[in-house]
Amino acid sequence: MSKTAPIPQIEGSRIADLTSNPLKDQQKYLAEIQRIEKKHFPSSEALDFNAELKKRNTNAILVLKDVDGSTEVAAYLVYLRMKRLTLLHKICVAQPYRQQGIAKEMITLLRSRLEREGCGSVQLWVDEDRTAARALYASCDFKQVDRCPDYYGPGRTGLRMVLRLE
């Protein structure tokens, strides 16, 4: 992927790897991601982004939006690449930008990149009750392959979904 690419659905936006930005901007974006994370996920599911993104093969894709002379994070996707397997850890679109195809755009970009690099599959876990997330993944060709009761806590079933790239 080039440093940045426009997202046609949102005027003044672009998609980029976190690390393609200057260090001071990376720190600002990480703080925004953590704020969005706390707002949209239970504390038991929140990632420690500073620790996660220091891991060798963990990467983040951001959708950045220009607003009144500054740039804000509209969405993010965090994944871990392990040779022929990629684990999609987290995807989140901030509330004002939902239902505009942004999450699908990020997954499509990730899929294209991984196919070029020879990755065999992408796996993720999703809460069975998150119907919008499950519909998104199904629309991106992920298939449910496993079901684990209480995966996310008592009464919260996790579904493992896989996208085969070969």
Provide the domain count of the chain: 1
With H, G, I as helix, E, B as strand and everything else as coil, classify residue 152: strand
pLDDT tens sequence across 77-113: 999 999 899 999 999 999 989 999 999 999 999 999 9
The pLDDT-based confidence of 8 (bands split at 50, 70, 90) is low
* CA nearest to 110, candidates 88, 126, 127: 88
| pTM greater than 0.85 (yes/no) | yes
Using CA atoms, how far apart are residues 165 and 40, in angstroms rounded to an integer?
30
On the question of pLDDT at 49 being above 90, the answer is no
Domain range holding 26? 5-164
Count helices and strands (H / E) in the chain.
4, 8
Q: For the segment 112-129, what is each residue's pLDDT rounded down to a tens digit?
A: 999 999 999 999 999 999
Q: Check which CATH number belongs to the domain holding 77 and give it.
A: 3.40.630.30
